[in-house]
Amino acid sequence: MVGDVLQIAGLLVGGIGTIGTFAVTGMPQWRVSAFIENNIIVFETIWEGLWMHCIRQANIRMQCKVYDSVLALSPDLQASRGLMCAGSALSSLAFLVAITGLKCTRCMQSSWRDKGYIILTSGLLFILSGAVELIPVCWVAHTIISDFYNPMVNVAQKRELGEALYLGWAAAFCLLAAGAIFCCFCRCGEKTRSYGYSTPTSYPMHSQHLHRKTESLYSKSQYV
């Protein structure tokens, strides 16, 4: 019963993390324009993402344009593209592997031991995808904060943390939590199997002792 609850909880948390990873990869709100000092143009907001940048005017109209070249991006955004794509692929693979390893699914007559290995593989993939997603999110956040407090950077070029970064941290936490849940499930299942295999060993010895005692009584009755 506890194992089933852990599996369902891990699958739900992993699914939320996977959907969040795809959303973060496509969102343009990685970098948001900062309104500080003389930059008081509050009716225009600039968003910069991995694939496009958008300009939103007075909460009425928004225009987005895809980047013309990857080389035009900063090094952190260039690396974040590849890492976020890798994180999305790993999280999707981990989710599909987790579905295959559930107790309620049957695939190619897999035994319970094989399903335990499948769940463990899914947990490790979830942890790996969460770590891969944390790298670009933390890298971009560090660059934004460093430029914000750098006096050499022009005020108009300074940015703030966008909503995509906060969602990326939450999605990465969900992926890491799902991986930990599946790994704990495999650990608990391994202890249960070892306990179940060790307990029946006393029954053959007990039955053998009863059999010898019966033979001895039978021989005594024959002798009498």
For residue 65, the cross-strand partners are 53
Type of residue numbered 166: Y
Give the global pTM.
Answer: 0.76
Residue 187, in any domain of the structure: yes
Residue 205, in any domain of the structure: no
Q: Give the residue numbers spanning the domain of 124.
A: 1-27+73-154+162-192
Residue 103, in any domain of the structure: yes
Whether the CB-CB separation of 47 and 56 falls below 8 Å is answered with yes
Residue 107, in any domain of the structure: yes
Whether the CB-CB separation of 131 and 176 falls below 8 Å is answered with yes
Q: What is the domain-level CATH number for residue 94? A: 1.20.140.150
Whole-angstrom distance, CA of residue 106 vs CA of residue 150: 57
| Span 150-162, pLDDT tens digits | 888 887 778 889 9
| Span 22-32, pLDDT tens digits | 999 999 999 98
pLDDT computed for residue 150 by the predictor: 86
| Span 109-162, pLDDT tens digits | 556 677 778 888 999 999 999 999 999 999 999 999 998 888 888 877 788 899
- Report whether pLDDT(19) > 50: yes
Residue 33, in any domain of the structure: no
* Arithmetic mean of pLDDT, 156-182: 91
